[in-house]
Amino acid sequence: MVGTGIFATPAEIVNLSGSVGLSLFIWVIGMLIAGAGMMTYLEFGTGIPRNGGEKNYLEYVYRKPKFLVTAMYAGYVVLLGWAGSNSVIFGEYILNAANVEVNRWNQRGVGLACVTNAFLIHGLALNWGLRLQNLLGTIKLFILLLIIVSGFAALGGHLKIAKPDNFTNAFAGTTGSA
Protein backbone atom coordinates (compact mmCIF):
# COMPACT_ATOMS: atom_id res chain seq x y z
CA MET A 1 0.00 0.00 0.00
CA VAL A 2 2.83 2.36 0.81
CA GLY A 3 3.95 3.30 -2.68
CA THR A 4 5.49 6.18 -4.48
CA GLY A 5 2.36 8.22 -3.74
CA ILE A 6 3.23 9.26 -0.22
CA PHE A 7 6.84 10.06 -1.14
CA ALA A 8 6.14 12.04 -4.29
CA THR A 9 2.75 13.76 -3.93
CA PRO A 10 2.40 15.64 -0.60
CA ALA A 11 3.73 18.92 -2.04
CA GLU A 12 1.60 18.53 -5.13
CA ILE A 13 -1.49 18.10 -2.97
CA VAL A 14 -0.66 21.29 -1.06
CA ASN A 15 -0.07 23.08 -4.36
CA LEU A 16 -3.37 21.94 -5.82
CA SER A 17 -5.45 22.66 -2.75
CA GLY A 18 -3.77 25.99 -1.97
CA SER A 19 -3.30 25.59 1.76
CA VAL A 20 -1.78 23.24 4.29
CA GLY A 21 -5.01 22.82 6.23
CA LEU A 22 -7.12 21.89 3.23
CA SER A 23 -4.47 19.45 1.99
CA LEU A 24 -4.59 17.58 5.30
CA PHE A 25 -8.38 17.43 5.04
CA ILE A 26 -8.05 16.02 1.52
CA TRP A 27 -5.77 13.30 2.88
CA VAL A 28 -8.41 12.37 5.45
CA ILE A 29 -11.21 12.33 2.85
CA GLY A 30 -9.03 10.24 0.55
CA MET A 31 -8.48 7.80 3.39
CA LEU A 32 -12.25 7.44 3.93
CA ILE A 33 -12.81 6.76 0.22
CA ALA A 34 -9.95 4.25 0.17
CA GLY A 35 -11.49 2.67 3.26
CA ALA A 36 -14.78 2.18 1.40
CA GLY A 37 -12.91 0.50 -1.44
CA MET A 38 -11.05 -1.69 1.00
CA MET A 39 -14.28 -2.82 2.65
CA THR A 40 -15.61 -3.85 -0.77
CA TYR A 41 -12.55 -5.96 -1.45
CA LEU A 42 -12.74 -7.38 2.06
CA GLU A 43 -16.30 -8.48 1.35
CA PHE A 44 -15.32 -10.08 -1.96
CA GLY A 45 -12.16 -11.62 -0.55
CA THR A 46 -13.84 -13.25 2.43
CA GLY A 47 -16.72 -14.45 0.25
CA ILE A 48 -14.52 -16.05 -2.43
CA PRO A 49 -11.13 -16.62 -0.83
CA ARG A 50 -9.21 -17.80 -3.89
CA ASN A 51 -6.23 -16.65 -5.94
CA GLY A 52 -6.97 -14.21 -8.69
CA GLY A 53 -8.93 -11.36 -7.17
CA GLU A 54 -11.39 -9.69 -9.51
CA LYS A 55 -11.28 -12.55 -12.00
CA ASN A 56 -13.10 -14.83 -9.54
CA TYR A 57 -15.68 -12.24 -8.58
CA LEU A 58 -16.50 -11.48 -12.21
CA GLU A 59 -16.69 -15.17 -13.05
CA TYR A 60 -19.02 -15.68 -10.12
CA VAL A 61 -21.42 -13.00 -11.29
CA TYR A 62 -21.26 -13.36 -15.10
CA ARG A 63 -21.47 -17.10 -15.80
CA LYS A 64 -22.93 -16.95 -19.30
CA PRO A 65 -21.53 -16.99 -21.95
CA LYS A 66 -18.93 -19.27 -20.51
CA PHE A 67 -15.39 -17.84 -20.25
CA LEU A 68 -16.35 -14.47 -21.77
CA VAL A 69 -15.48 -12.61 -18.59
CA THR A 70 -12.37 -14.73 -18.10
CA ALA A 71 -11.13 -13.85 -21.58
CA MET A 72 -11.99 -10.18 -21.12
CA TYR A 73 -10.19 -10.02 -17.81
CA ALA A 74 -7.17 -11.77 -19.31
CA GLY A 75 -7.14 -9.15 -22.06
CA TYR A 76 -7.35 -6.38 -19.47
CA VAL A 77 -4.48 -7.78 -17.43
CA VAL A 78 -2.20 -8.51 -20.37
CA LEU A 79 -2.90 -5.45 -22.51
CA LEU A 80 -3.35 -2.79 -19.84
CA GLY A 81 -0.88 -4.20 -17.32
CA TRP A 82 -0.05 -1.77 -14.56
CA ALA A 83 3.43 -3.08 -14.06
CA GLY A 84 4.32 -1.46 -17.37
CA SER A 85 3.37 2.08 -16.39
CA ASN A 86 4.81 1.65 -12.91
CA SER A 87 8.13 0.53 -14.30
CA VAL A 88 8.34 3.56 -16.59
CA ILE A 89 7.81 5.81 -13.57
CA PHE A 90 10.45 3.78 -11.77
CA GLY A 91 12.81 4.57 -14.65
CA GLU A 92 12.01 8.28 -14.36
CA TYR A 93 12.76 8.36 -10.62
CA ILE A 94 15.98 6.40 -10.96
CA LEU A 95 17.24 8.79 -13.61
CA ASN A 96 16.21 11.78 -11.50
CA ALA A 97 18.05 10.36 -8.52
CA ALA A 98 21.14 9.76 -10.66
CA ASN A 99 20.92 13.33 -11.99
CA VAL A 100 20.55 12.15 -15.57
CA GLU A 101 18.26 14.03 -17.91
CA VAL A 102 15.09 12.03 -18.40
CA ASN A 103 13.79 11.34 -21.87
CA ARG A 104 11.25 8.98 -23.27
CA TRP A 105 13.63 6.20 -24.20
CA ASN A 106 16.09 6.03 -21.33
CA GLN A 107 13.22 5.97 -18.86
CA ARG A 108 11.56 3.16 -20.77
CA GLY A 109 14.88 1.33 -20.92
CA VAL A 110 15.32 1.38 -17.14
CA GLY A 111 11.68 0.38 -16.71
CA LEU A 112 12.08 -2.57 -19.05
CA ALA A 113 15.19 -3.72 -17.18
CA CYS A 114 13.28 -3.47 -13.90
CA VAL A 115 10.30 -5.51 -15.09
CA THR A 116 12.58 -8.10 -16.68
CA ASN A 117 14.51 -8.46 -13.44
CA ALA A 118 11.30 -8.78 -11.44
CA PHE A 119 10.04 -11.56 -13.69
CA LEU A 120 13.40 -13.34 -13.63
CA ILE A 121 13.63 -13.24 -9.84
CA HIS A 122 10.06 -14.40 -9.30
CA GLY A 123 10.27 -16.99 -12.04
CA LEU A 124 13.59 -18.52 -11.08
CA ALA A 125 13.86 -18.00 -7.34
CA LEU A 126 10.50 -17.36 -5.71
CA ASN A 127 11.88 -17.41 -2.17
CA TRP A 128 14.52 -14.84 -2.99
CA GLY A 129 11.87 -12.74 -4.66
CA LEU A 130 9.84 -12.79 -1.45
CA ARG A 131 12.88 -11.98 0.66
CA LEU A 132 13.80 -9.08 -1.61
CA GLN A 133 10.26 -7.77 -1.49
CA ASN A 134 10.07 -7.98 2.28
CA LEU A 135 13.44 -6.25 2.56
CA LEU A 136 12.42 -3.42 0.24
CA GLY A 137 9.08 -3.06 2.04
CA THR A 138 10.88 -2.78 5.37
CA ILE A 139 13.28 -0.16 4.00
CA LYS A 140 10.30 1.78 2.69
CA LEU A 141 8.53 1.85 6.05
CA PHE A 142 11.80 2.68 7.78
CA ILE A 143 12.37 5.69 5.52
CA LEU A 144 8.80 6.86 6.05
CA LEU A 145 9.44 6.72 9.78
CA LEU A 146 12.72 8.59 9.27
CA ILE A 147 10.85 11.43 7.55
CA ILE A 148 8.29 11.54 10.37
CA VAL A 149 10.93 11.52 13.11
CA SER A 150 13.01 14.21 11.42
CA GLY A 151 9.91 16.40 11.08
CA PHE A 152 9.20 16.21 14.78
CA ALA A 153 12.89 16.70 15.56
CA ALA A 154 12.75 19.92 13.56
CA LEU A 155 9.70 20.98 15.56
CA GLY A 156 11.60 20.33 18.78
CA GLY A 157 14.47 22.47 17.50
CA HIS A 158 16.96 19.62 17.22
CA LEU A 159 17.82 20.27 13.58
CA LYS A 160 19.95 23.11 12.32
CA ILE A 161 17.18 24.68 10.27
CA ALA A 162 15.01 27.68 10.96
CA LYS A 163 11.98 26.71 13.02
CA PRO A 164 9.06 26.28 10.63
CA ASP A 165 5.67 27.80 11.28
CA ASN A 166 3.52 26.47 8.48
CA PHE A 167 0.64 25.80 10.86
CA THR A 168 0.19 29.28 12.32
CA ASN A 169 -2.31 30.10 9.60
CA ALA A 170 -2.98 26.69 8.12
CA PHE A 171 -5.91 27.73 5.96
CA ALA A 172 -4.39 30.85 4.38
CA GLY A 173 -4.71 30.68 0.62
CA THR A 174 -7.38 27.97 0.56
CA THR A 175 -8.67 27.86 -2.99
CA GLY A 176 -11.89 29.72 -3.64
CA SER A 177 -14.55 27.13 -4.24
CA ALA A 178 -13.70 24.94 -1.27
Partner 1 sequence: MLLLEQRVARELINHYVSKKKEREKNARLILDRYGIVTALYNVIWSYIGYSNANYALSETKNPVKTLKRAAPAALILVSILYMLTNVSHQFLFQNPFANFFRSHTLPQYPKRISSAPVVSLLLLSSATCSVLALSVYYPYSSHSQHSEMS
- Binders of partner 1 in range 13-32 (CB under 8 A): 13-18, 20, 22-24, 26-31
Q: What is the Cα–Cα distance from 36 to 34, expressed in whole angstroms?
A: 5
**Residue among 66 and 172 whose Cβ is closer to partner 1:** 172
Going by the DSSP 8-state scheme, the letter that residue 164 receives in this structure is P
- The answer to whether 122 touches 129, Cβ cutoff 8 Å, is yes
φ and ψ at residue 167, rounded to 5 degrees: -100, 0
Q: What is the Cα–Cα distance from 24 to 145, expressed in whole angstroms?
A: 18
Q: How far is the CB of 133 from partner 1 (least distance, A)?
A: 5
The count of chain residues that interact with partner 1, using the rule CB under 8 A, is: 99
Interface pick for partner 1 out of 61, 79, 80, 98 (rule CB under 8 A): 98
- The residue count for the chain: 178
Binding residues among 101-160 for partner 1 as defined by CB under 8 A? 114-115, 118-119, 121-122, 126, 129-130, 132-134, 136-137, 139-141, 143-152, 154-155, 159
**Residue among 108 and 121 whose Cβ is closer to partner 1:** 121
